[in-house]
Amino acid sequence: MLDIKFVRENPELVKENIKKKFQDHKLPLVDEVLELDEKNRAVKQKGDELRSNRNSLSSNIGILMKNGKKDEAEEIKKQVVQINEELVKNEALEANLAEEIKSRMMKIPNMMHESVPIGENDSKNVEVEKFGDPIVPNYEIPYHTDIMEKLSGIDLDSARRVAGNGFYYLIGDIARLHSAVLTYARDFMINKGFTYCIPPYMIRSDVVTGVMSFEEMDAMMYKIEGEDLYLIGTSEHSMIGKFKDQILKEEDLPYTMTSYSPCFRKEKGAHGIEERGIYRIHQFEKQEMIVVCKPEESYEWYNKMWSYTVELFRSLDIPVRTLECCSGDLADLKAKSVDVEAWSPRQQKYFEVGSCSNLTDAQARRLGIRIKGEKGNYYAHTLNNTVVAPPRMLIALLENHYMEDGSVTIPEVLQPYMGGIKVLKPKQS
């Protein structure tokens, strides 16, 4: 959410930002906010005047009573009662206007960083850099679930009977590999100085609306029926929510945390749920990282965070590239975002495995996350990034380490987490 003062002083900049995101239907919101803000300031001024008048009259009552002028004092009391009644109405109007302003401000997108490329959708995202050489072997690489089935590592049919499409059973060495990736990612981030955390897997609605836009909420979140609770779509939600309504000490910053959680997503929209694969699913597990820092440090942390994901994937001998998200592919609260994509030798193209975002102070304003400074309190900046989400990581790992005989080699850094196993071999039929 933007600062109302910024919108007031820079309405054309805010409108231009909306146009660059190809959300022209939101342009009227800016003028509506300005009109409501003008009314609200007038109502506030009237309230201040009423309170000042009431205080002045009230101070006279005691003097008049002391001087034996009871009748005059009673007349002033009547005026004070009238002012109080008017104040009640005025304060109700002020609260209503404030809510009207907030509801519109919540829909106006955050100001993008000047470096964000302009484009309507993800097809206009821009490749930044490649890391590692993408290799296409001279033998066929099967679909990832076929590899898993030959390793007796997945059961989709049973999952469909139990929960429907978008779920899976991971079994045996594949399940162990899944856990090994998560545990390795956890230790990797701890070694980078991040504090490990396991957060709540459900959050209240005021946290949901604090960390994401209404459009994202509708497309992603599962609500618990009869309760003000939602299943998290990523642990970033509850991790940023941890700082809600807090005033943080400058000397304690930055907060750098890495969190494990299951994630639950409706995956509502054009992409849909895969019936056969595990690329887009309703339930998965993930290792995440978040940073809460001073504004002047946020882009330094942004570059560190995505580079950690690249480093982790390269340590697993998986080629990756970074892709700058264009304006039309940038969620409303994000000022800048980069996707990390892993190489798929089967498809001979890259696919998304993680995303790093700087939300500047957009989440902090919604959630009331402030920093206590020498010259007063100010809003923190928040960032998040995927360390690893094993369903997609497993696809990249299995394809890039698949051998012609159907076996899969285990990257050296994962072998200690696999009990020393170096190769997964297909089960004999």
User: What class is the 122-424 domain?
Assistant: alpha beta
Q: What is the structure's pLDDT at 81?
A: 85
Whether 60 has a pLDDT exceeding 80, the answer reads no
| CATH class in words for 4-105 | mainly alpha
Mean pLDDT of 135-144: 96
**Mean pLDDT, range 272-301, rounded to an integer:** 89
273 pLDDT band, cuts 50/70/90, is low
* Better-scored residue on pLDDT, 2 or 273: 2
Least confident of 225-229, 279-283, 320-324: 279-283
- Give the pLDDT of residue 72: 79
pLDDT at 346: 96
Q: How far is CA 14 from CA 20, 293, 362, in A?
A: 10, 25, 14
Do 332 and 344 form a contact (C-beta atoms < 8 A)?
Answer: no
pLDDT in tens, 84-99: 999 999 999 999 999 9
With a cut of 80, say whether residue 214 has pLDDT above it.
Answer: no
So what's the pLDDT on residue 274? Answer: 61
Residue 388 CA, chain-centre distance (Å), reads 15
Dihedral (CA of 198, 203, 209, 214) sign = positive
Q: How far is CA 253 from the centre of its chain?
A: 20
- The reply to whether domains 4-105 and 122-424 share a CATH topology is no
**pLDDT reading at 269 higher than 60:** no
The average pLDDT across 249-267 equals 95
Does position 429 have pLDDT exceeding 60, yes or no? Answer: no
Mean pLDDT of 238-249: 97
CB 65 within 8 A of CB 58: no
Q: Determine which of 130-139, 265-274, 283-292, 419-428 has the lowest per-residue pLDDT on average.
A: 265-274
Cα of 160 vs its chain's centroid, Å: 30
Rounded-to-integer distance, Cα 51 and Cα 39, Å:
18
Cis peptide before 254 (omega within 30 of 0): yes
Q: What is the domain partition of the chain in residue ranges? A: 4-105, 122-424
Region 242-259 average pLDDT = 97
Residue 280 has pLDDT above 70, yes or no: yes
Query: What pLDDT, on the 0 to 100 scale, is given for residue 189?
Result: 98
End-to-end Cα spacing for the chain: 58
In this prediction, residues 111-124 reach a mean pLDDT of: 96
pLDDT band at 278 (very low <50, low <70, confident <90, very high): confident
Quick check: 80 pLDDT over 90? no
The confidence score (pLDDT) of residue 66 equals: 67
Average pLDDT over residues 258-269: 87
The pLDDT score that the predictor gives to residue 275 is: 62
Q: How far apart are CA 98 and CA 6, in angstroms?
A: 16
Mean pLDDT of the chain: 93
What average pLDDT does the segment 246-250 reach? 97
pLDDT tens readout for residues 346-393: 999 999 999 999 999 999 999 999 999 988 999 999 999 999 998 899
Indicate the pLDDT class of residue 271, thresholds 50, 70 and 90.
low
pLDDT at 79: 86
Query: Does residue 216 register a pLDDT over 90?
Result: no
